Amino acid sequence: DGGITQSPKYLFRKEGQNVTLSCEQNLNHDAMYWYRQDPGQGLRLIYYSQIVNDFQKGDIAEGYSVSREKKESFPLTVTSAQKNPTAFYLCASSIQGARDYGYTFGSGTRLTVV
C-alpha cells in the first residue's frame, strides 16, 4: 500500500544536538511538506518542496533545515539553533497542487528535548 512513513515515532534530543527526522513516501507525489504541531496552535508550516532539489521556507523555518535529493524522501533536521524543538512533527505529501487533492499525512514524530 502506498503511503508516507515517518521515523522514528519518538525521538529524544539533548541540548545542543542536531537530530534528523525521516520522511519517505511511495505515492509518487511531487510535493512534500513539514509541519510542526503544538497544543492549541494547530499546524505550522516549516518547509515545503515542490520538486526534487528545490524547497522553500514556510512560516517557522528558523532552526530547521531540509533536503530533497530524491522524490521519495524529504528529511528534516532540527538544529541546535531551534530553541524550543519539543513538538509533534508531521510530514505530508501531495500531487502537484494540494488545493486539488489534499494532503496525505504521515503518522508523525514526537520530538522531546531532554
Partner 1 sequence: AQSVTQPDIHITVSEGASLELRCNYSYGATPYLFWYVQSPGQGLQLLLKYFSGDTLVQGIKGFEAEFKRSQSSFNLRKPSVHWSDAAEYFCAAATSGTYKYIFGTGTRLKVLA
> Where does this chain bind partner 1 (CB under 8 A)?
4, 6, 31, 33, 35, 40-43, 45, 48, 50, 58, 90, 92, 94, 96-100, 102-108, 110
Q: Where are the beta strands (DSSP E) in the chain?
A: 4-7, 10-13, 19-25, 31-38, 42-51, 54-57, 64-66, 76-78, 87-94, 104-105, 109-113
Question: Could you give the count of Cα atoms lying within 13 Å of 63 in the half-sphere of its Cβ?
Answer: 13
Give me the least distance between CB of 98 and partner 1, in Å please. Answer: 5
Nearer to partner 1, 58 or 75 (CB): 58
Least distance (Å) from partner 1 to the CB of residue 70?
19
Comparison of 85 and 106: residue with beta carbon closer to partner 1? 106
